[in-house]
């Protein structure tokens, strides 16, 4: 499964959610499908997408929040999983695209390729609902189930280590910030 195919498969389910992406390939691929004002492409903050998503989920408990993260980012901030579990916002779905590499910064391998199982780590940290999808059908099914469950979920999607030719978005950082802020203020 590729990350962009997974994003395309759930894109229509994102219109009522505040969506936060980590930097690099995830942000570039989601924007290539089509930008929306409810999408925030977190830049220059590797490891912090789940933290930003948590803040939004806690401050806006009636707004569903979807975080699209990467294995390298989660590994940089493993404590983020414990913090998510501590607060357990029922409106947060944390998707981790696990390509077993730091693709956006050179393709170096991560520990998920040898020993670390992020869904198990999230469960051990106390995240109440976790799943790991290895096929597109599994991913779509688990994503829909997580949205229906209304319970903090970490969904790990094992994806191929391929990405766009460039890992940047063409939307200015400030423009994205203000669009997203206006979206949240209206919710």
Distance between CA atoms of residues 168 and 187, nearest Å: 28
User: Which residue has tokens 């780590």?
Assistant: 121
Residue 166 has pLDDT above 90, yes or no: no
Least trusted range by pLDDT, from 74-83, 131-140, 166-175: 166-175
Question: What size, in residues, is the chain?
Answer: 187
Among 13-22, 84-93, 103-112, 134-143, where is mean pLDDT lowest?
103-112
**Positive or negative torsion for Cα 66, 70, 75, 76:** negative
**CA–CA distance, 117 with 120 (Å, rounded to integer):** 5
For residue 12, the tally of other CB atoms under 10 A from its CB is: 7
Q: Where are the domains of the chain?
A: 3-185
pLDDT for residue 54 is more than 90: yes
Residue 87, helix vs strand vs coil:
helix
The arithmetic mean of pLDDT across residues 94-118, rounded, is 89
Dihedral sign from CA coordinates of 141, 119, 130, 167: negative
Burial code of 53-82, b = ≥16 C-beta within 10 A, e = fewer? bbebbeebeebbbbbbbbbbbbbbbeebbe
Q: Tokens 């975080």 correspond to what residue? A: 67
Coil, strand or helix at 67: strand
Q: What is the DSSP secondary structure assignment for residue 12, as one 8-state letter?
A: G
DSSP annotation of 4 reads H
Which structure tokens are listed for 10? 């759930």
* Residue 47 or residue 154, greater confidence: 154
Give the model's pLDDT for residue 165: 67
Is pLDDT at 59 greater than 70 in this prediction? yes
CA gap 138, 130 in Å, rounded: 13
Q: Return the CATH architecture of domain 3-185.
A: 3-Layer(aba) Sandwich (3.40)
Provide the Cα torsion 101, 103, 162, 67; round to 10°: 90
- Residue 108, pLDDT score: 82
Average of pLDDT values for 62-81? 96
């Amino acid at each position: 499964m590729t990350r962009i195919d997974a994003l395309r498969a759930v894109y229509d389910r994102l219109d009522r959610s505040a969506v936060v992406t980590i930097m690099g390939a995830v942000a570039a691929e989601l924007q290539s499908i089509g930008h929306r004002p409810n999408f925030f492409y977190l830049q220059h903050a590797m490891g912090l997408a789940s933290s930003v998503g948590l803040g939004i989920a806690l401050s806006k408990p009636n707004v569903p929040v979807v975080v699209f993260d990467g294995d390298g980012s989660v590994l940089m901030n493993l404590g983020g999983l414990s913090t998510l579990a501590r607060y357990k916002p029922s409106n947060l779905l944390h998707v981790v695209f696990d390509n077993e590499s730091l693709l956006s910064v050179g393709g170096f391998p991560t520990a998920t390729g040898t020993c670390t199982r992020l869904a198990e780590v999230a469960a051990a940290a106390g995240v109440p609902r976790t799943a790991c999808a290895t096929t597109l059908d599994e991913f779509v099914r688990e994503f829909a189930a997580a949205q229906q469950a209304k319970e903090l979920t970490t969904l790990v999607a094992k994806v191929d280590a391929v990405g766009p030719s460039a890992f940047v978005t063409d939307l200015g950082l400030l423009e994205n910030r203000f669009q997203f802020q206006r979206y949240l203020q209206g919710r």
